[in-house]
Amino acid sequence: MTGNIAAVREALDHLDIDDNPATLKQKSRDFFWYSPVLKEKMDHLIGDFVVSPRSEEEVIEVLKTCFAHDVPVTTRGAGTGNYGQAMPLAGGVVMHMKNMTKVKEIHPGRVIVEPGKVVKDLDAETRAHSGQEQRMMPSTYGTATIGGFIAGGSGGIGSVRWGALRDLGNILRLRVVTMEAEPRILEFTGEDLARVSHAYGTNGIITEIEMPLAPAYDWVEFALGFDDFMQAAQFGYDLAQQDGILVKLITPIEAPIPFKFFKRFSGHVREDQSILIVLVAPHSLDGFTAFMGRNNDPDVIYRSDASTFERTPGHLAEYTWNHTTLRALQVDPTVTYLQVRYGGPDPLAKVAKVRETFGAEVLQHLEAMREGGNVIYAGLPIVDYSDEARLNEIIAIHEELGCMIFNPHRYTLEEGGRQKTDDRQLKFKQEADPKGLLNPGKMISWDDPNWSYDTMYAYPKMKQAS
């Protein structure tokens, strides 16, 4: 399905192009290999060349040229997504946003920025400018781009206070270029944001972003030790509901994950000890200490402002969200993970049921989140992987227990997300990408309106392994 690649390559020759085989291979991949299922299906994928536009005008030129020659375009931020979101299933152009990094304006409570800005660098600029920070960021903030976060991510550090990216108010405005003979520039706010946010770049390219900001703090990082995982989970759940204590992260992690996989914690945490990671604003420390006192004063294994570790563990945020999985994979490449939503009025009862059902086969790692004014837990458990059939069985059992799964072993929007088609995204694709050239194969409803969730979707035009 790659259209006339040679014509596009020639027409775009004056832009920042990379077709060195080694970088092309690297820029055609993301963190899909976290999933043994995706690793097997996607490892061979490669684009035809990489182009890195420097401006919105150049984005328009790339899209217009590719449209004229029927060449697919897969956009790439930093390629830290986990579901092959940024991988060109049908080959074609990889459009890398690395040159679009300008912070255009900073105001009280908001920032306007280009999509290729690395989240950490954006945070540094808003902090230096006016003591403001991103409300939420992925644990990959050090490398991920803000555009990739919006198009491919969901939430992260800060979600305990602010909810998920999809919640109203967590993105203010997106400027988007369409894939047509004459690309249009559109601006989205409010309800319309859902058309393009978390759409994997399948229906428009984001060229400018307006995000809300919060006051920045020098967050104090804690790792607390618990003999029983459910105590850690309960402590975190209750803490998240303390409206007056400002926290940015609450992460319970079940034993023996910290002992086995967090190397810098060696000698500080017992094999049977679960931990709770918390980020607290400095002015909330007294309240937090009092809260610990009310709840049996858990062991303080680590605190960043009074560390007893001989080697710093680094930022504790980089032990949370999918960094927990990364650390596990670095020690034991045979494990894998799931993404679970423990919602409803009693998320802890669901966690308890799942633990009872699977024991050590599914070790718990939770993230507290705000949702509609309530606290829920997201789960990114570490799964002792045997094969795909058992993994699917584990997923089915979770769903029978009332725990929704966002399947990280699928490369499509529908299967990885809410397991249904998103009409708003599909309708916008029909008008903004009429030839279906943007990140082809990732939106099932575009290719197969009769799809049902029963079997894994296989994109028929996927590049074959040679």
| CB-CB neighbours of 452 under 10 Å | 8
31 binds ligand FAD (CB under 6 A): yes
Instruction: List the one residue from 415, 439, 459, 463 that touches ligand FAD (CB under 6 A).
Output: 439
Q: How many residues bind ligand FAD (CB under 6 A)?
A: 38
For residue 163, which phi and psi values (nearest 5 degrees)? Answer: 85, -155
CB of 200 to ligand FAD, least distance (A): 3
**Does a cis peptide bond (omega within 30 degrees of 0) precede residue 256?**
yes
Name residues contacting ligand FAD, limited to 303-322 (CB under 6 A). 321-322
Does 81 participate in binding ligand FAD (rule CB under 6 A)? yes
Question: Alpha-carbon distance 428 to 79, whole Å?
Answer: 24
**Which among 77-85, 259-267, 268-276, 307-315 is the span making contact with ligand FAD, rule CB under 6 A?**
77-85
Is 246 a binding residue for ligand FAD by CB under 6 A? The answer is: no
Give the footprint of ligand FAD on residues 172-201 (CB under 6 A): 200-201
Q: Which of 53, 72, 88, 138 binds ligand FAD (CB under 6 A)?
A: 138
115 binds ligand FAD (CB under 6 A): yes
CA distances from 171 to 138, 167, 206, 236 (A): 14, 8, 13, 27
Using the rule CB under 6 A, is 151 a contact of ligand FAD? yes
**Contacts with ligand FAD in 390-429 (CB under 6 A)?**
none
- Which residue from 367, 323, 370, 340 is spatially nearest to 165, judged by alpha carbons? 370
Phi, psi of 72 (to 5 degrees): -65, 150
Rule CB under 6 A: say whether 203 interacts with ligand FAD: no
- Report in angstroms how near the CB of residue 31 gets to ligand FAD at its nearest: 4
* Cβ atoms of 366 and 252 closer than 8 Å: yes
- Segment interacting with ligand FAD, rule: CB under 6 A, options 44-52, 82-90, 267-275, 395-403: 82-90
Using alpha carbons, select from 140, 95, 133 the residue that is nearest to residue 115.
Answer: 95
Identity of the amino acid at 169:
G
Q: Which of 2, 35, 140, 412 binds ligand FAD (CB under 6 A)?
A: 140
> What is the DSSP-derived secondary structure letter of residue 219?
P
Alpha-carbon distance of 239 to 216, in angstroms, equals: 21
User: How many whole angstroms separate alpha carbon 116 and alpha carbon 110?
Assistant: 17
The sheet carrying 374-379 orders its strands as: 366-371, 374-379, 340-342, 404-405
Instruction: Using the rule CB under 6 A, give the single segment among 18-26, 140-148, 332-340, 419-427 that binds ligand FAD.
Output: 140-148
153 touches ligand FAD (CB under 6 A): yes
Q: Is 106 in the site for ligand FAD (CB under 6 A)?
A: no
Of residues 138 and 298, the one with the C-beta less far from ligand FAD:
138
Using the rule CB under 6 A, is 163 a contact of ligand FAD? no
Alpha helices in 165-321 (DSSP H): 229-240, 257-261, 285-294
| Per-residue contact string for residues 1-30; x = within reach of ligand FAD by CB under 6 A | -----------------------------x
Identity of the residue numbered 25: K
User: Which part of the chain contacts ligand FAD (CB under 6 A), choosing from 47-55, 149-157, 181-189, 259-267?
Assistant: 149-157
Beta strands in 45-177 (DSSP E): 49-51, 73-76, 93-96, 103-107, 110-113, 132-134, 173-177
Work out how close the CB of 357 gets to ligand FAD at its nearest, in angstroms, rounded to a whole number. Answer: 26
CB atoms within 10 A of CB 255: 23
Q: Please state the closest distance from residue 84 (CB atom) to ligand FAD, in A.
A: 9
211 interacts with ligand FAD by CB under 6 A? no
Return residues touching ligand FAD (CB under 6 A): 30-31, 74-82, 85-86, 97, 115, 138-140, 144-145, 147-149, 151-156, 200-201, 205-206, 321-323, 326, 439
